[in-house]
Structure 1
Amino acid sequence: MAELWLYRHVDSAKRAELLRDVREGRLASYGARFGEAFGAFMYLVDLHLRRRYGVTHDDLADFDWRTEHDTGSSPVEAAREAMLAEDLLPPGVR
């Protein structure tokens, strides 16, 4: 199930708010670019990357975000995998 991460990691109230924002609110650019559930996933990927490393997914080389989403990875897990693939994690963080 492609939306497994959303139900596994985000409580129902936050999930509803996030999907509404991706569909029609402040995050509509993610929804328009990626679709509703995948847009929410990519927003959370970018939120984590920005807070933790100061980058977004657009700053990284091609990474198969869709497969990460479709296999049920959380946005944090996917962001970490992308940073590992780029060999961009700070020393001591693996």
Structure 2
Amino acid sequence: MEAKRIYAIEDLIIVDGGSTDGSLEVDALKQVGVRGLVVKKGPGKLSAQLRCAYAFSLDQGYEGVVTIDGNDKDDPEAIPRFIEALKVGVDFVQA
């Protein structure tokens, strides 16, 4: 995501469900513009992480949410288009 500089147009929030690969080192996250790190400690997998992300977003007053898996299966290239769709009033997009 750093290469796409998403953080320059919107906030980056990571919701971690138990990563053990060292990718969540705070200084490294700050360098790529991550605004927040939410760590899910209870039971559950992806759906629990999504609930954490939505709860955090609502609590922080965000008006929209774009989610993407952090396992390199999803290409972040489309994120700016999702953000633009939200800005013009689209309620839900899934790709």
TM-score (norm 2): 0.31
In terms of fraction of residues, the more helix-rich structure is: 1
